[in-house]
Structure 1
Amino acid sequence: MENENRVGKSKDEKNNGNEIKSLLALKSIFSFNGKKRNGDSEGGNDAPPYQPLPFLSSIANSVVSRSCKILQVEIEELQHQFDSDLVDDVKQPLVYARNFLEFCSFQALQVVTTRPDYLSDKEFRRLMFDMMLAWEVPGVGNQETAASDKREVEDEDSWSLFYSDSTDMAVQVDDKKTVGEESFSRIAPACAIVADIITVHNLFDVLASSSGHRLHFLIYDKYLRSLEKVIKAVQNFNGPQLVSNLSLAEEEIVLEVDGTVPTQPVLEHIGISAWPGRLTLTNHALYFESGMGLYDKAVRYDLASNLKQIIKPELTGPLGARLFDKAVMYKSSSMMDPAYFEFPEFKGSSRRDYWLDICLEIFHAHNFARKYKLKEGQQSEALARAVLGIYRYKAVREAFKVTSSNYKTLLCFNLAESLPRGDAILETLSSRLKLMNSAGNRRGLLGSPSARRQVIHPVSRVSLCRLGIISCKEVDIIGEATTLVGDVFVGEVNPLENAVKQSMKNIGRAEAAQATVDQVKVEGIDTNLVVMKELLYPLIKPMNQLQLLASWKDPWKSILFMVFVSYAIIREWIKYALPSLLVVLAVIMFWRRNVRKGKPLEPLKVIAPPPKNAVEQLLILQEAISQLEALIQSGNIILLKVRALIFAVLPQATDRTALLLVIVALSFAFVPLKYLILFAFLESFTSNMPLRKISSERDLRRVREWWIRIPAAPVQLIKPDDKNDKTSKKPIFKKEKKHEE
């Protein structure tokens, strides 16, 4: 620290007066529109002038100044608290400025977020963005590259006009007033509603996608404004009228409602029937109320219990026709028929995709709680994390017209399900949640700095409580934990962030591999057959050679091959055949790897068949289906004849088959296996020898005639009962009366 003071001493002596004047001339130091904190006196706002710290940059000094104003403490007291409460690792000279800035910022955010309307405060949004700017340049060494602490106050209405439809024009904003991914992922998760430590990198990618991977304040401001609108809409959802209609449990909160606008209905399909109505998602279930304006009693589809639920996208249409890919299917073990929720729209299926994502997020959150056997408070915290993720997803979707896809989802449990090694993220999250203690134990742990870092607070539930979405009577809000906000520790990396980084290392490889899969997909049955034949050529060629030897067209080669294989079987070398083949393949792979040395693989050259029109393709498909049907029929006939032999439909054939099975069983019991293998090889390989060909064909003909004389076991097809009630548990099929008579 002394070195840093000496480096910036000369510059600070020249600019110290100007910095104090500029700091005193700031129009706002985040005073919450003039409102005082609890316990503030009338003269509490008349604080002495803030003296800038010489080891901090000007933007960092500005942030620390406003943090002191919020906390109503002197800078000396705040620095003393930082030096005494935190461990020595975060107070090293190289990281002292940044970690002190984090300490002040996190404490200020903890106080700021106690107000239910902090998202609507322009100064809060400005302060949090300045914290990100200051985090990138916390020390005086980066003074020249730091953004000025003077901030232009944007017009309240101009932001929505300038960014009402697109974020493409964001690149025209002054590029010095931007933040990078690292600073955003460090500060944003300190406020639980703003970002989640698991999905913060995806959120930054969405917000900064059109501005060169640098986040502008206007984009960030628009995101928080949209988030505020979402919170207000959720508060309206949880009004007494809707809650009373659904008969929600005490811990249930409404997350989303759709189908209230006549031009955007929601249709529920069950069987061939369809009803319009209102669809509601809570943190425990889906509710559908049929009707328009006046709704019937809601039908509940559980997402919390272990009912083997299936939630997936599905095709639907009138009278059960599968025409439109705009529906979500829900199926559970408590239902006989699945329910399809259709979201009609003219273009695309964004409504369906949105509802599918949020329903799966709640479903995965409950599965996570059951899998890791979380207790009630821990389960509530995991569910609150999923709820906050849905709010963020909706805010981004409405502000920037962004939909979730692949690994860019903003929903933490959906992300863990789709990421490679996502189970490691869930295991880390469960271990973190299990560190949550009772209120008394938690207060006891706050006594030592080392123990304080192991305290996990229900930050998601606290955030929902402060926003007025859930009741605060069961949420223990602790104001003493000043070194921890959200999932972020001062000067430390959250284990969840490490788990996410480890999983994301494999994303690039997975996406690159999937891109190659999409490139090599070809259309047409005949074209795919040609490609498959070319790929299987290394296997087809040896099989053709073996078949040529078995045909005895070249007797000397066949005799040599038979003698060699017979000798290998007698000496029990045959057991080394498969291991040797695997070793040869491994050697070839290593040799290819060293020879190629990163060179691109040459494409497989395939002679494409003549192009065919749609009618010809349909005819080929019909022929392929017919051949498949014939194969299935042949398989069924074999199984039915075996059934007839087992149940002695033809006693003479059954006797012979049973005797043959006894002989085979005795052979396996008393004859060495190598002699059985040798006998089977010689019998099959020599069947086409000139000396045995006639007798082999005669014996094969007798076996075929014997098999033809075996009758197939009878099969009775039963017509479905059209009068069967869907809700009853009667058999689906019934016997025909003429057979009963």
Structure 2
Amino acid sequence: MGLIEGLFGGDHSRGRGNKGHGSAEEKAGMAIPPLSPTAASVVRRCARIAGVPVDQLLRRFDTEEQGGRPLEYARSVVEYCSCIALRVETKRQDYLGDREFHSLTYDLMLAWEAPDEETDAVFQKTAFSILRDDADDDDGGSIFYSSPTQMAIQVDGRRTVGPEAFAKIAPSCPAMAHPITVSNLFDALTNSTGGRLHFLIYHKYLKSLDQVLSSAKRISDGHKAPAIQLSDGEVILDIHGAATPKPVLQHIGTSTWPGRLTLTNHALYFEAIGVDFSYGEAAVYDLARDLKQLVKRESTGPWGAHLFDKAVMYKSSSTSEPVFFEFPQFKGHTRRDYWFAVIKEVLHTHKFIRKYMLTNFQKAEALSVAALGILRYRTVKEGFHILPAHFKTTLAFNLAEKLPKGDKILEALYGELQQHCSRFRGSEDFAQSSSDELTLADPFPLSAYTMVRMGLLALKEEDNTEERDFTARDVQIGGTSSVQMALERSFGYSGRVEAARATLDQVKVEDIDTNVAVLKELLFPLIEIGKVLLAFAEWEDQLNSYVFLFCFLYMVYSGWIWFMFPGFLLGSSLFMLWHKHYVKGQLIGAFEVTTPRRRTVQQLLALQEAISQLEAHVQAGNIFLLKLRSLMLAAFPQSTSKVAAALVVMAAAFAFLPLRSIILLVVLEAYTRQMPVRKKSSEKLVRRLREWWLRIPAAPVQLLRPQDTRRWRPRLRSRQAI
């Protein structure tokens, strides 16, 4: 037990978490039907925290609202009382580090999950059977072969929390979770515990979160803060490279400079390290303005070589060339992935602000949601060594950008933000609240006020005037919010996307020969059709060529040619519907491809040959354009006159002849070149055109060397300049 208490802080039931349970006689005397003893105990604790009688807390739920099922009513009572208690508890700055707060919130989740006696009995029985099975599985095993976390969980032996309870209670404290990412946060915390949240894991998460927030608070107060000029409302979110042995490497062109990288909710700051190990003036890369910023993962290395996949590339309309920030790491690239995610989160947040033109408090709230999300993301990374990505990320705006129909989530978030802010504008109906409603001097739980209470943000006076009393009307009990409904729809589509992505991973091949072989097999029908048409055009079988030519000319003359494309689309749709009706969702058979047998050296030689052919085609294209430039600028006057006359004739043809006649003439000229009657004259004409083209000179080209950037020095730039 000494090891367990040293890791997780001992028994969680001490302090306030044990005060509210009392004896069996007390529970029986103070029962609250239809609440279970656990839920009734939690309600009484919430009443003591709020400083009001229990009956006043329950007065909001009248007879009409009690008409539903007992389970729904009991959960509504627990949820409402939880919101009231958490408003009071979160007014303290150190509540995240308080073990009693951890126990209280965990008990709130347990009470919400099993609020009535019937559900509570089922969960108690399930928890006992799971604990007994775990004990049976560990018989005969050595304690030294089990992780300290799993051992502590088994010794703790308390009931666990499910995802629905965590999603209902945790967002009531904005520092703990946000409604958009609360499910992903739960998955990250329970990825090794079978989808159930144990108290020791929950306690470790809040303890780590408190440490991260305290670190951010010390930096905002000036302790170990970089010497950069911050604007109003700008908060430092993270710093990397402060330790000299692990600096961030900035690559611009062929120049490389070590330094320190600072991320705020408005910009990136890079301070280069000088010869005397002091930091120079900071270069500012603005993330708030619409500068067409592009941020992506990149590989970098010495002199611009793409060797190490550990960098983030930043480019905007105000930078002359891309800037690469490399995060050296001996193994893996988790640091780069973390910084890439948090930088994208700030960019997506300001994109959301610009899209809905948020100002004042609404803008501060959006930035606070992003800031707290980044701090939680950092907590999960440092405390649990997990870096959720893609659809499992715990960054709200990143998740909304990645999810299918994520714009609907942001639209719902904006609607709720408008609704919350409208409640803050002091209206007469809130000032005239009846005595039957509970009134506490505390604003609605928004992320901006959480940042203010923790000392990370200072709101302006006009924003502070929007604070008002919190009333019972502000609590949404039961039901599903618009953000949650948008999330459910998006996650439904994301499941299909993940399934489709899994099929992509199965069919991806690496070497170029195999990819070419797969491409040829997929295009086999089109290749065969092309071969047949080419055989017709070369007049290998004159009868078939004549039949094809007359049929095609008749289709053009009669106007049927215009129905070919609609007919192709209609036939494709009928083919798909036929397969849908008869196949009925069965799996498609594997597409068989015979891979070429080549050794590694042969593949390298084939790749070199392909590159040489590509270079030759590019050179031929450049020569064609340069000769065309000579003709346009009359560098060869006689040829220019002939080309101009030909263009005049073509213009007259397009002006006076119908399009059908032009198509007929073009098809006849191209298709009958290899006819026995026209073959000799066609070859002679092509030869003369080739000789004429070879006589045309190419326009001159002058190659200039790029400017040398090796003498680049970082200097202070205003946010308007970068």
**TM-score, structure 2 normalization:** 0.86
Match of 1:506 among 464, 484, 493: 493
| Residue 52 in structure 1 maps to residue 31 in structure 2 | yes
Q: Which residue of 2 aligns with 1:480?
A: 469
Q: Aligned partners of 2:47, 2:445: CA distance in 1, in Å?
A: 26
| Residue 74 in structure 1 maps to residue 53 in structure 2 | yes
Q: Which residue of 1 aligns with 2:81?
A: 104
Q: Which residue of 1 aligns with 2:476?
A: 489
| Residue 231 in structure 1 maps to residue 213 in structure 2 | yes
Report the CA distance between 1:199 and its aligned residue.
0.5
What do you get for the CA RMSD once the two structures are aligned? 3.2
Q: Aligned partners of 2:67, 2:429: CA distance in 1, in Å?
A: 22
Report the CA distance between 1:219 and its aligned residue.
1.0
Q: Aligned partners of 2:122, 2:314: CA distance in 1, in Å?
A: 54
Q: Aligned partners of 1:656, 1:612: CA distance in 2, in Å?
A: 53
Report the CA distance between 1:31 and its aligned residue.
9.9
Q: Any idea what the Cα deviations from partners look like across 1:492-528, whole Å, max 9, x if unmatched?
A: 3221111111111111211111111111111222221
Q: Which residue of 1 aligns with 2:532?
A: 545
Report sequence identity in percent: 46
Q: Which residue of 1 aligns with 2:228?
A: 246
Report the CA distance between 1:461 and its aligned residue.
0.7
Residue 49 and residue 108 in structure 1: after superposition, are their counterparts in 2 closer, same or farther (change >3 A)? Answer: farther
Q: Which residue of 2 aligns with 1:10?
A: none
Q: 5 Å matches for 1:120-139?
A: 120-139=97-116
Q: Any idea what the Cα deviations from partners look like across 1:308-346, whole Å, max 9, x if unmatched?
A: 222222222233333222122222333334332222121
Q: Any idea what the Cα deviations from partners look like across 1:75-117, whole Å, max 9, x if unmatched?
A: 1111113439xxx668634522111111111111111111111
| Residue 264 in structure 1 maps to residue 246 in structure 2 | yes
Q: Any idea what the Cα deviations from partners look like across 1:632-679, whole Å, max 9, x if unmatched?
A: 111111111221221112222212211111111111122121111111
- Aligned to 1:276, the other structure's residue is in SS state strand
Match of 1:708 among 665, 682, 694: 694
Q: Which residue of 1 aligns with 2:288?
A: 304
Q: Aligned partners of 2:491, 2:144: CA distance in 1, in Å?
A: 34
Q: 5 Å matches for 1:370-519?
A: 370-437=354-421, 441-444=425-428, 446=430, 457=444, 459-471=446-458, 474=461, 476=464, 478=467, 480-483=469-472, 489-519=476-506
Match of 1:665 among 612, 629, 651: 651
Say which is worse superposed, 334-343 or 528-537, in terms of deviation.
334-343
Residue 527 and residue 90 in structure 1: after superposition, are their counterparts in 2 closer, same or farther (change >3 A)? Answer: farther
Say which is worse superposed, 284-293 or 207-216, in terms of deviation.
284-293
Q: Any idea what the Cα deviations from partners look like across 1:521-571, whole Å, max 9, x if unmatched?
A: 112222211111111001011111111122222222111111111111111
Q: Which residue of 2 aligns with 1:183?
A: 165
Q: Which residue of 2 aligns with 1:115?
A: 92
Q: Which residue of 2 aligns with 1:348?
A: 332
Q: Aligned partners of 2:639, 2:647: CA distance in 1, in Å?
A: 12
Equivalent AA in structure 2 for residue 115 of structure 1? R
Instruction: Please list every run of 5 or more consecutive structure 2 residues that lacks an aligned counterpart in the other structure.
Output: 1-12, 21-25, 129-142, 715-722
Q: Aligned partners of 1:415, 1:386: CA distance in 2, in Å?
A: 11
| Residue 677 in structure 1 maps to residue 663 in structure 2 | yes
Q: Aligned partners of 1:345, 1:727: CA distance in 2, in Å?
A: 25
- Aligned to 2:456, the other structure's residue is in SS state coil
- Aligned to 1:297, the other structure's residue is in SS state strand
Q: Aligned partners of 1:688, 1:576: CA distance in 2, in Å?
A: 29
Q: Aligned partners of 2:710, 2:95: CA distance in 1, in Å?
A: 58
Task: Work out whether residues 443 and 470 of structure 2, in 8 Å CA contact, stay in contact via their aligned partners in 1.
Answer: no
- Aligned to 1:626, the other structure's residue is in SS state helix
Report the CA distance between 1:234 and its aligned residue.
0.8
Residue 641 and residue 32 in structure 1: after superposition, are their counterparts in 2 closer, same or farther (change >3 A)? Answer: farther
Residue 272 and residue 644 in structure 1: after superposition, are their counterparts in 2 closer, same or farther (change >3 A)? Answer: closer
Task: Work out whether residues 27 and 37 of structure 2, in 8 Å CA contact, stay in contact via their aligned partners in 1.
Answer: no
- Aligned to 1:299, the other structure's residue is in SS state strand
Residue 173 and residue 492 in structure 1: after superposition, are their counterparts in 2 closer, same or farther (change >3 A)? Answer: farther
- Aligned to 2:43, the other structure's residue is in SS state helix
Q: Which residue of 2 aligns with 1:592?
A: 579
Q: Aligned partners of 1:74, 1:281: CA distance in 2, in Å?
A: 47
Q: Any idea what the Cα deviations from partners look like across 1:604-649, whole Å, max 9, x if unmatched?
A: 1111111311x32222111111111111111111111221221112
Residue 101 and residue 703 in structure 1: after superposition, are their counterparts in 2 closer, same or farther (change >3 A)? Answer: same
Report the CA distance between 1:409 and its aligned residue.
0.7
Q: Aligned partners of 2:607, 2:443: CA distance in 1, in Å?
A: 60
Q: Any idea what the Cα deviations from partners look like across 1:189-230, whole Å, max 9, x if unmatched?
A: 111011110001101111111111111111111111111111
- Aligned to 1:277, the other structure's residue is in SS state strand
Q: Any idea what the Cα deviations from partners look like across 1:675-721, whole Å, max 9, x if unmatched?
A: 11111112211221112212222222222222222222222222334
Say which is worse superposed, 659-668 or 183-192, in terms of deviation.
659-668
Report the CA distance between 1:473 and its aligned residue.
6.0
Residue 438 and residue 594 in structure 1: after superposition, are their counterparts in 2 closer, same or farther (change >3 A)? Answer: closer
| Residue 65 in structure 1 maps to residue 44 in structure 2 | yes
Equivalent AA in structure 2 for residue 68 of structure 1? A
Q: Which residue of 2 aligns with 1:92?
A: 68
Q: Aligned partners of 1:274, 1:466: CA distance in 2, in Å?
A: 41
Residue 102 and residue 501 in structure 1: after superposition, are their counterparts in 2 closer, same or farther (change >3 A)? Answer: same
**How many residues of Structure 1 are paired with residues of Structure 2 in the alignment?**
671
Task: Work out whether residues 269 and 282 of structure 2, in 8 Å CA contact, stay in contact via their aligned partners in 1.
Answer: yes
Q: Aligned partners of 1:422, 1:302: CA distance in 2, in Å?
A: 25
Task: Work out whether residues 168 and 210 of structure 1, in 8 Å CA contact, stay in contact via their aligned partners in 2.
Answer: no
Match of 2:352 among 368, 371, 385: 368
Task: Work out whether residues 185 and 200 of structure 1, in 8 Å CA contact, stay in contact via their aligned partners in 2.
Answer: yes
Q: Aligned partners of 2:59, 2:180: CA distance in 1, in Å?
A: 33
Equivalent AA in structure 1 for residue 112 of structure 2? W
Equivalent AA in structure 2 for residue 677 of structure 1? I
Q: Which residue of 1 aligns with 2:634?
A: 648
Instruction: Please list every run of 5 or more consecutive structure 1 residues that lacks an aligned counterpart in the other structure.
Output: 1-25, 34-46, 152-160, 729-741
| Residue 145 in structure 1 maps to residue 131 in structure 2 | no
| Residue 556 in structure 1 maps to residue 543 in structure 2 | yes
Q: Aligned partners of 1:163, 1:120: CA distance in 2, in Å?
A: 31
Report the CA distance between 1:275 and its aligned residue.
2.8
Residue 479 and residue 81 in structure 1: after superposition, are their counterparts in 2 closer, same or farther (change >3 A)? Answer: farther
Equivalent AA in structure 2 for residue 494 of structure 1? S
Q: Which residue of 2 aligns with 1:335?
A: 319
**TM-score, structure 1 normalization:** 0.84
Report the CA distance between 1:166 and its aligned residue.
7.4
- Aligned to 1:211, the other structure's residue is in SS state coil
Equivalent AA in structure 2 for residue 72 of structure 1? G
Q: Aligned partners of 1:618, 1:98: CA distance in 2, in Å?
A: 67
Say which is worse superposed, 438-447 or 544-553, in terms of deviation.
438-447
Q: Aligned partners of 1:50, 1:105: CA distance in 2, in Å?
A: 22
Q: Which residue of 2 aligns with 1:8?
A: none
Task: Work out whether residues 163 and 186 of structure 2, in 8 Å CA contact, stay in contact via their aligned partners in 1.
Answer: yes
Residue 480 and residue 52 in structure 1: after superposition, are their counterparts in 2 closer, same or farther (change >3 A)? Answer: farther
Task: Work out whether residues 365 and 413 of structure 1, in 8 Å CA contact, stay in contact via their aligned partners in 2.
Answer: yes
Greater relative contact order structure (CA < 8 Å, 6+ sep): 2
- Aligned to 1:197, the other structure's residue is in SS state coil
Q: Which residue of 2 aligns with 1:156?
A: none
- Aligned to 1:230, the other structure's residue is in SS state helix
Equivalent AA in structure 2 for residue 240 of structure 1? G
Q: Any idea what the Cα deviations from partners look like across 1:9-65, whole Å, max 9, x if unmatched?
A: xxxxxxxxxxxxxxxxx97545999xxxxxxxxxxxxx9997221211121111101
Q: Any idea what the Cα deviations from partners look like across 1:218-269, whole Å, max 9, x if unmatched?
A: 1111111111111111111113254572122232221112222233222223
